[in-house]
Structure 1
């Protein structure tokens, strides 16, 4: 999780996220910015903080990912963790969208979660030197985001 260090450049960190369909973070892994997303796939899937409440035989778990996860090793890891992979490149998405306009990519859900993290000013620029401190702040932000989402859902359901 060491931040990237280059001559004349600042440290860089990358946040790898797994979110549910509403954008609530389920897993967070922070690495140096020079790491590819697929190299952290297993760590992200292993780091799920909350298990699903319903038994897996009732509902399948689907994992939507971008084209960076199209390789056979990545698909194998996704399936080993009990997910049904939905990994499509931009060209495949465009073809599918022409056939059925209601099936749009939901990648924006993860992008919104990243923007929610960036609204915590303490996380926007990494000042923490210790990895544990930075991860703790990310987990605190994820907890606040989940609590806000649950509170919003309860208000919608019960008024």
Structure 2
């Protein structure tokens, strides 16, 4: 079992359903949500409770169920209500703020290590096409996307990007580094750049090595044409584990969203869930 995460069997045995928002997590999310004033004239139907709607969003994220099949008996609201709330909260920057908040708490608990980072990517099928898709070279040219991920030394996700399935991994190396937010949590300067970065042969390009060094980061990238066994795997395995955790959330295994911003919202929310589960081990 990967650290900070439970397997499906463990979730089944637990009384807590994974899509039910825990009190500790809700205490962190609620202040980030935009306040919606109810109209006094023609107020219409009462707005559904934000926490219940968030449970519906997480239900879709965990199970991969289509929005229209969201069970009404669970009182999450309709699939369209949950979709709109996910869109609105994403546009308001809620998920990004949450992902900056939780790493800061992890740093305060001494659970964040910026001495090194690792990057990798994963292909997924894009069933409806849309932006950030392309013919996947590993899936017989079918339309797909890629998740690109950078993690710190313990495998905690720092940033994730979405591209077409035909994009070369190395093209996302600099965007991933630039996407890492400044992480506070302690007095002094926030953490912003890891000291070393590890990557596989897909990132082997001297031009990009030079660009990484401009960020005062030392690149350790396996060379093409050399035998396997470079020794970098002892540092790189954490990013492969983090990708596995993201894809344990079934909505992230296959891209069903035509809109790339909605899929990005799911990815950012998934990163926050990994951070929250790791943070709980410090309580």
Partner of 2:133: 3
Q: Aligned in 2, Cα 1:29/1:116: closer, same or farther, shift over 3 Å? A: same
Partner of 2:236: 107
Counterpart of 1:27 in 2: which secondary structure?
strand
Partner of 1:100: none
Q: Aligned in 2, Cα 1:55/1:82: closer, same or farther, shift over 3 Å? A: farther
Partner of 1:116: 245
Q: Alpha-carbon deviation of 1:123?
A: 1.0
Superposition TM-score, scaled by structure 2 size: 0.46
Matches within 5 A, 1:1-150: 2-5=132-135, 10-51=142-183, 61-89=195-223, 91=226, 94=229, 105-150=234-279
Q: Alpha-carbon deviation of 1:69?
A: 2.4
* Runs of 5+ consecutive residues of structure 2 not aligned to the other structure: 1-130
- Tell me the C-alpha RMSD between the 2 structures: 2.8
Superposition TM-score, scaled by structure 1 size: 0.78
* Runs of 5+ consecutive residues of structure 1 not aligned to the other structure: 98-102
Q: Alpha-carbon deviation of 1:147?
A: 1.1
Deviations 1:8-51 (A, max 9, x none): 96431101111011111101111011101001111111111343
Counterpart of 2:270 in 1: which secondary structure?
helix
Q: Are 1:17 and 1:110, in contact at CA under 8 Å, matched by a contact in 2?
A: yes
Deviations 1:78-122 (A, max 9, x none): 11222111123484773x66xxxxx86322111111100111111
The farther-off stretch of 46-55 and 110-119 is 46-55
Q: Aligned in 2, Cα 1:60/1:146: closer, same or farther, shift over 3 Å? A: closer
Decide which structure has the larger Cα Rg and report it: 2
Regions of 4+ moved over 4 Å = 52-56, 90-93
Q: Are 1:3 and 1:13, in contact at CA under 8 Å, matched by a contact in 2?
A: yes
Number of residue-to-residue matches in the alignment: 145
